[in-house]
A = this chain, B = another copy of it.
Amino acid sequence: MTQIRPSIAVLGGTGHEGAGLAARWARAGYKVAIGSRDVARAVDAANELSRAAGGEVVGAGNVEAAAMGEIVVLAVPYAAQRTLAREVRAELEGKILIDVTVPLIPPKVARVQLPGGGSAVEALQQELGEGVRVVSAFQNVAAHQLSALDSPVNCDVLVTGDDIEARETVCQLAKAIGITAWHAGPLANSAAAEALTSVLIAINKRYKVAEGAGIRITGIPEQP
């Protein structure tokens, strides 16, 4: 008997961060759908990931991919976040949406610039409404590390969301690919993870970190 794993749709799965997550979930035995505006690119990326990581990966347009996923991951640049979320809204009802977006505003990506004074994901949750269980996670993991499939990820993940059960599911999804994940509070607390990405970029520049700096949470006693 195998454990039943939810199917995961990664919108923006042709980008570095999305592809890295998709590859790790595919290898861990999850069914993965890669979504992109460009269906041909999504299919190509899916085939490549399937070869590299093993497992079942399909490519599709964003709406079709969102329809396939029991859990949907939004891994697009900040400029595309809201538009894409609106576009696939009908496919998200009742589902968990994991937002990986970081509000980087080029060219000063090493400078914290939180939009409208809060986390980008809170605005997204408001836009999508209560029918979508938005959880924020994975902002601080370097894409570079995700795609090095045979190496462990040297960064913890802060998981924030107002739906605690959905948050727990996302923590489990992180753990399934070997990443330590922490319940980090309500969706408002995503501001910390979003801001921290610019800090890590600043640290990468200053200390010449090729692999991508990350964070670990310290001081937690062993959990039962």
Contact = CB atoms under 8 A, between A and B. Distances in A.
Nearest to A195: B192
Contacts of A216: 215-216, 218
Interface string A181-224: 01111101111110110111011001111011111111111010
Given A185-B202, A189-B198, A218 B221 contact: no
Interface of A: 110-114, 116-119, 142, 145, 154-155, 158, 160, 182-186, 188-193, 195-196, 198-200, 202-203, 206-209, 211-221, 223
A203 B221 contact: no
A184 B203 contact: yes
Nearest to A145: B219
B188 A112 contact: yes
Contacts of A199: 158, 160, 184-185, 189, 192-193
Nearest to A221: B209
Nearest to A164: B206
Contact of A154 (B142, B206, B218): B218
B219 A217 contact: no
A198 B207 contact: no
A117 B116 CA distance: 6
Which 8 residue pairs are nearest across A and B when measured between Cβ atoms?
A117-B117, A185-B202, A192-B195, A214-B218, A216-B216, A192-B199, A213-B219, A192-B196
B191 A203 contact: no
Contacts of A160: 199
Given A183-B207, A189-B202, 6 more contacts: A113-B188, A155-B219, A189-B195, A191-B195, A207-B220, A215-B215
A60 to B, nearest CB: 34
Nearest to A118: B117
28 contacts: A110-B189, A112-B119, A112-B192, A114-B114, A114-B118, A154-B218, A154-B219, A155-B218, A182-B206, A182-B207, A183-B202, A183-B203, A184-B199, A184-B203, A185-B199, A185-B202, A189-B195, A189-B202, A192-B192, A192-B195, A192-B199, A193-B199, A207-B220, A212-B219, A213-B217, A213-B218, A215-B217, A215-B218
